[in-house]
Amino acid sequence: MRTITIEEHFATSLFLTGPGSSISQYPEISEKLLDLGERRIAEMDSAGIDMQVLSITPPGVEQSPVAEAITLSKEINDKLALAIAAFPDRFSGFAAIPTADPKAAVAELERAVGSLGFRGAIINGHVNGRYLDDEYFWPIFESAQSLDVPIYLHPTKPPKAISDIYYSGFSPVVDEFFASAGFGWHIETGVHVMRLILGGVFDRFPDLQIIIGHLGESLPFMQQRMNRMFTTERTGLKRPISAYLKENIHYTIGGFNYEAPFRNLFLEVGAERILFSADYPWATMANAKDFLEALPVNDSERQMIAYQNAEALLKI
């Protein structure tokens, strides 16, 4: 059975001295992020992973000043393009884009898809507290829909004002994980997706496809409740909330190798909306593969999740 993982990260040296400087506290992770060669391929072979769809590791470029984000995005995408050219059967990619400047972001997305052969873009959450339902950013969605490529909406920490209220008051390490990978950034991404829906993004761009990770960032659990609360009469939207979650959103496993939330996601959206991923190197490919093989699904559904959905969505 073929396997394609689509939330797999890398970095460049320039990125790790800039917005990714905090990653230096994890030297083993930094080393793996920089490796786009034979060692990564060997680890993929050992775990039984055929292809990785690579993207810049968090925090991406969304919190960077505009000029820096433009420079970094081009450098990141050029480095990734070289790796894909060296291993075209093993790597594909999502582009980094300078989201803070939609005109520049559209230009870079068009270059990455049209000239470099990338399969979409990654956006790491809000842009200095500004969310993507703001019409200022909609040229990016218009471009993605026109190019027929998805956008991976990856978590980032909530804006500082929110973190200071919701996720502080404990030890520094607890505060950090409470606001990020322990809880906060999953809720943050769920809120962000709901802002896109309620803000009419998918009514304006009905063919736009967004990918989110971590078995849905809490949204599948809330889907039926939100359908009841956010009726079309109340929202003015064209469709129920569940329609957007089933027709415009795709969901990756992304290191959430947990059966109970997977069952919830599977029951709410079906196998055709779920994509395999490992969240490498923040999580291991071997654990992801073991989880895939143990999923409570039939063989046809397992193949959809393992590679067929990615092939269809990304045109691989």
45 C-beta neighbours (distance < 10 Å), count: 12
Contact 17, 11 (CB under 8 A): no
CA-only gyration radius of the chain, Å: 18
Nearest residue to 98 via CA among 111, 88, 107, 86: 107
Cis previous bond, 102, omega within 30: no
- Distance of alpha carbon 92 from alpha carbon 53, whole angstroms: 5
21 C-beta neighbours (distance < 10 Å), count: 10
- Distance of alpha carbon 128 from alpha carbon 66, whole angstroms: 11
Within 8 A by CB and 6+ apart from 309, the residues are 250, 271, 272, 273, 274, 275
Contact 104, 98 (CB under 8 A): yes
Vertex 5, ends 137 and 279: CA angle to 5°? 75
- Distance of alpha carbon 84 from alpha carbon 54, whole angstroms: 9
Catalytic residues: 279
Structure tokens at 39: 């060692």
- Distance of alpha carbon 125 from alpha carbon 185, whole angstroms: 9
